[in-house]
Structure 1
Amino acid sequence: MNMDVDLDGLFRHNGTYNYEDDYEYNEDVAPGAGKAVWAPVLYSMVLIVGLLGNGLLLAILAQKRRSWSIADTFILHLCVADILLLVTLPFWAAQAARPSGWRFGGFLCKSSGALFNINFYCGIFLLLVISLDRYLSIVHATQRFSLKKPRLAHMSFLSVWILSLLLSIPWAFLVARRDPAQAQTVCDHSFSQAETGWRLVSRVLHLTLGFLLPAAALVVCCSFVLQKQRTVTLILPLVGLFLLCWVPYNITLLVDTFRSCSKEPAETESCLKAALAFTWALGCMHACLRPLLYFGLCQNFRKQTLGMLRCAKVESQSSLWGLGVGEEALPDQNAEEEALKQIECEGHQVQLPQC
Structure 2
Amino acid sequence: MMGAGKSVSNEQTWWNDYFYNETCYPDENSSYEEGDVCDLMDGTKFEAVFIPTLYSVAFVVGILGNGLLLGVLFQSRKRWSVTDTFILHLAVSDVLLLVTLPLWATQYASSLGWEFGTGLCKFTGAIFTINFYCGIFLLACISFDRYLSIVHATQMYNRRKPWVVHASCSLVWFFSVLLSIPDWIFLEDVKNDRQGHRAVCTRNYYKSGLDVRTQKIAARALYHALGFVFPSVVLIFCYSCILLQLQCGTKGLQKQRAFKVIIGVVAVFFLCWTPYNVVLLADTVQLNNNTGTCETNIYLGKALTVTSSLGYLHCSLNPILYAFVGVKFRRQLLNILRSMGCKLKTTVKLESFTRRSSIWSDSGETSNSIAI
- The two structures have a TM-score, normalised by structure 1, of 0.78
Alignment partner of 1:103 is 2:131: no
Which of 161, 177, 181 in structure 1 is aligned with 2:194?
181
**Segment of structure 1 superposing worse, 242-251 or 277-286:** 242-251
Letter matched to residue 187 of structure 1: C
Q: What SS does the aligned partner of 2:154 have? A: coil
What does residue 59 of structure 1 align with?
A: 71
Residue by residue over 1:129-167, the C-alpha shift from the partner in whole angstroms, topping out at 9 and shown as x without a partner, is 222222233323332111122222111111111111112
Give the TM-score, by structure 2 length. Answer: 0.75
Among 220, 237, 243, the alignment partner of 1:220 is: 237
Map 1:264-343 to 2 at 5 A: 264-267=291-294, 268-294=296-322, 296-310=324-338, 311=340, 317=353, 318-322=357-361, 327-329=366-368
Aligned equivalents of 2:115 and 2:297: distance in 1? 25
Q: Residue 205 in 1 paired to residue 205 in 2?
A: no
Q: Is the 8 A contact 2:107 2:200 kept in 1?
A: yes
- The whole-number CA distance in structure 1 between the counterparts of 2:243 and 2:114 is 46
Q: 1:135 aligns with which of 128, 147, 158?
A: 147
2:238 corresponds to 1:238? no
Task: Quote the Cα distance in structure 2 between the aligned partners of 1:279 and 1:324.
Answer: 37
- SS of the residue aligned with 1:194? coil
Task: Decide which structure has greater helix share.
Answer: 1
Q: How many residues align?
A: 307
- Whole-Å Cα distance in 2 between the matches of residues 180 and 187 of structure 1? 14
Report the Cα distance in structure 2 between the residues aligned to 1:171 and 1:107, rounded to whole angstroms: 11
**Aligned with 1:38 (options 26, 43, 50):** 50
Shift of 1:327: 2.9
Aligned in 2, Cα 1:131/1:121: closer, same or farther, shift over 3 Å? same
Shift of 1:292: 3.2
SS at 1:265 equivalent: coil
Whether 1:259 aligns to 2:259 is: no
1:236-284, Cα deviation, whole Å (9 max, x unpaired)? 5334323321222222222222111111133221112111111121111
Q: Gapped runs of 5+ residues in structure 1?
A: 1-25, 332-355
The runs of 5 or more residues in structure 2 that have no matched partner are 1-37, 248-254, 343-349
8 A Cα contact 1:122 1:160, kept in partner: yes
Amino acid at match of 2:336: M
Q: Which of 1 and 2 has higher RCO (CA within 8 Å, sep 6+)?
A: 2
Matches within 5 A, 1:185-196: 185-192=199-206, 194-196=210-212
- Read off the aligned partner of 2:360 and give its amino acid letter: W
Match of 2:86 in 1: 74
Letter in 1 for 2:133: Y
Q: Is the 8 A contact 1:40 1:96 kept in 2?
A: yes
- Tell me by how many angstroms 1:48 deviates: 1.6
The secondary structure found in structure 2 opposite 1:248 is helix
SS in 2 for 1:103: coil
Judged with a 3 Å threshold, the aligned counterparts in structure 2 of structure 1 residues 307 and 329 are, in CA distance, closer, same or farther, namely closer
**Which stretch of structure 1 is more off in the superposition, 77-86 or 53-62?**
53-62
% of aligned pairs identical?
44
Q: Secondary structure at the match of 1:322?
A: coil
CA distance in 1, matches of 2:276, 2:362: 28
Q: Kindly provide the amino acid, as one letter, of the partner of residue 204 in structure 2.
A: S
Structure of larger gyration radius:
1
Contact 1:134-1:325 at 8 Å conserved across structures: no
Deviations 1:212-245 (A, max 9, x none): 1331222111111111114226565334323321
| Aligned residue number for residue 13 of structure 2 | none
- 1:53–1:291 CA contact under 8 A, matched in 2: yes
